[in-house]
Chains A and B, each alone.
Chain A
């Protein structure tokens, strides 16, 4: 069985366990996002069909919440925290530096799909501001030299 099918199976099992209730849409979206990393049209349509909800409703909810991605992210993901503490500690400078260095815009990916740059609103590590997360590694009290070097190490290697 392909990996794809297994993921659908897990999703289906969860929906069944929750008796296909319409009110569990958000929980199902969470699970689907965890499994796939983002939502494409087919996935959203599938969920809408199974939960018997209009596609517009499912898309509306999926696009409303910031956590969900509607585009496939790059191989590596850099998330810069734009919380208040990080902003006043100069995260903007780091973000601009990443944009220039890797030719990527915030919210987008590089042309080769290797790197995505996202902005998150507060990861809650404010006392260590500014924070930049590279894949799953948090760099606290970050500055642009350290961050640029770390990104180069990761996408280079």
Chain B
């Protein structure tokens, strides 16, 4: 295959799709699949046949458009109509009315326009619109043209310069400048070099990476090939959680198709550049998302982190220079190459460019997967995109950044979402989880839940994390049982700071965040538990019995 062949496929596919007046995209992502998406796909195919509109209406499986709470969902183009809670019966009605008669079925439409209004979809540019199982769909949407541009017109150094100019920062949580990271690996003399795409989305309540892989796997693969070209690697691994079977299968199929088109393999598009990608499955360890943990896991060992330096850029997989990027970071790469770093740098804020995907869940009216420009406020996300609090209850806190993020109160809702502001407030960007908590939740219990998660997931290698977190959890349990002492508050704070400062890796360093932020913003709840033996949310003392079962 030559670059011209890819461009020809793009032309032919676009032409083919142009024959159809309508396209019905049925979301077959993990959010909709358990609720009958595959039956729906058949129902639409049958309905289109029955009404004799096969030649003008294409029915295709697709990824997630983001509105996961009203599944199964269907995206009907042109016009971007989203139908919610679609059943086979509704499918027939939709085809009859919308396709045959040209009249959308209003009562089945997803009516929350606000959900999309403030979003900006760069990473999720194709999500819900293309068939993830067909590489031709991706190519017709402009896919692999960034790779062609890199291979034919740019040197590796120019690619890195473009990424550096874009200001792109790692989307895995820490926010390290991507261009700089690529540069570190590129200048290493030691070979072979490896690239690793991190799709070990272990945070409970987060599903952005999974959705991306299920909806648009080639955007990840293309970004990865470009990164390998830039740093001079010939072998790559995509590390995926085994708990995401659909993402695994979608990626596996995508890799097969990319290989068949010589987009990976030997002498890619006759450029002389070789690069192979293998999938590696995780097995349910949160810590395997840590960058030295992931390396240990790919090498077939327990995913225990090790001290840095040496950084993976110098000594990673099997002691060789290794570039590790989150898959969302990689999916940003193709549009940056095509549109230029300057274009990307204008989106978001000056220090945090671009967009970020968030899984918006908890007690909001419109949960789902969203992508917003950096710098948007939490208030906009929760009350405009999210449509406010479920059942008209009162907002209490928002947990940003997964189990080791922070719980922020109402007074912090004006906070712009960027790496620095969140860290300053005691939260983290993490992998992009936003969980909204209403006034029925007890903050001590919330802190307990996340600490319990981290106790479970601590790899046990270093003492502060292994022992310190356990102690924090025990003290929280004591407080929830009404056996707390006033000194416990200071003790928690002291312990939290020790664990944060002395732990080896990111897990331990951030695990005390929920406890520390709830102490900072909801101290009165701790005091009520200790001195009045009262839970302001009315949760703790009545559930004492079930707590005992837990132990």
Q: Which residues of A contact B (CB under 8 A)?
A: 22-27, 29-30, 57, 60-61, 64-68, 82-89, 92, 96, 99, 105, 120-129, 137-138, 140
CB-CB contacts below 8 Å: B244-258 with A:
244
Looking at B202-210, B412-420, B495-503, the stretch in contact with chain A turns out to be B202-210
Tell me, yes or no, whether B284 is within 8 Å of chain A by CB: yes
Judge whether A84 and B281 touch: CB under 8 Å. no
Residues of B within 8 A of A67 (CB): 242-243, 282-284
Instruction: Across the interface, name the chain A residue whose C-beta is closest to B549.
Output: A99
Judge whether B449 and A124 touch: CB under 8 Å. no
Which applies to chain A's interface (DSSP): helix, strand, loop or mixed? helix
C-beta contact mask, B273-293 vs A, less than 8 Å → 1, else 0? 000000011111110000000
Residues of B within 8 A of A121 (CB): 202, 204, 284, 286, 453, 456
Listed by A's residue number, 12 A-B pairs whose Cβ atoms lie within 8 Å are A23-B299, A26-B281, A60-B302, A84-B205, A85-B204, A86-B204, A87-B204, A88-B437, A89-B362, A124-B206, A125-B68, A127-B31
Instruction: Across the interface, name the chain A residue whose C-beta is closest to B69.
Output: A127
Instruction: Across the interface, name the chain B residue whose C-beta is closest to A141.
Output: B69
Judge whether A137 and B34 touch: CB under 8 Å. yes
> How many A-B contacts are there with CB distance less than 8 Å?
137
Tell me, yes or no, whether B403 is within 8 Å of chain A by CB: yes
From B34, B69, B363, B456, residue with most partner A Cβ within 10 Å: B34
Residues of A within 8 A of B359 (CB): 126
From A22, A85, A99, residue with most partner B Cβ within 10 Å: A85
Judge whether B361 and A65 touch: CB under 8 Å. no
Q: Which residues of B contact A (CB under 8 A)?
A: 30-31, 34-35, 68-69, 71, 201-207, 210, 242-244, 280-286, 297-303, 359, 361-363, 367-368, 399, 402-403, 433, 435, 437, 441, 446, 449-450, 453, 456, 459, 543, 546, 549
Judge whether A26 and B297 touch: CB under 8 Å. yes
Q: Within the complex, what minimum Cβ distance (angstroms) separates B38 from chain A?
A: 13
Judge whether B205 and A83 touch: CB under 8 Å. yes
Judge whether A87 and B449 touch: CB under 8 Å. yes
Q: How far is the CA of A129 from the CA of B399 in the complex (A)?
A: 16
Judge whether A126 and B367 touch: CB under 8 Å. yes
- From A65, A87, A92, A126, give the contact of B283 (CB < 8 A): A65
Residues of A within 8 A of B543 (CB): 92
Asked if A83 meets B204 with Cβ closer than 8 Å, knowing A67-B243, A127-B69, the reply is yes
- From B71, B206, B297, B303, give the contact of A128 (CB < 8 A): B71
Instruction: Across the interface, name the chain B residue whose C-beta is closest to A57.
Output: B301
From A83, A99, A125, residue with most partner B Cβ within 10 Å: A125
Residues of A within 8 A of B204 (CB): 82-87, 121-122
Q: Within the complex, what minimum Cβ distance (angstroms) separates B370 from chain A?
A: 11
Judge whether B300 and A96 touch: CB under 8 Å. no
Asked if A127 meets B300 with Cβ closer than 8 Å, knowing A84-B435, A122-B203, the reply is no
Residues of A within 8 A of B203 (CB): 84, 122
Residues of A within 8 A of B71 (CB): 127-128
Residues of A within 8 A of B459 (CB): 64
Q: How far is the CA of A137 from the CA of B33 in the complex (A)?
A: 11
Judge whether B363 and A66 touch: CB under 8 Å. no
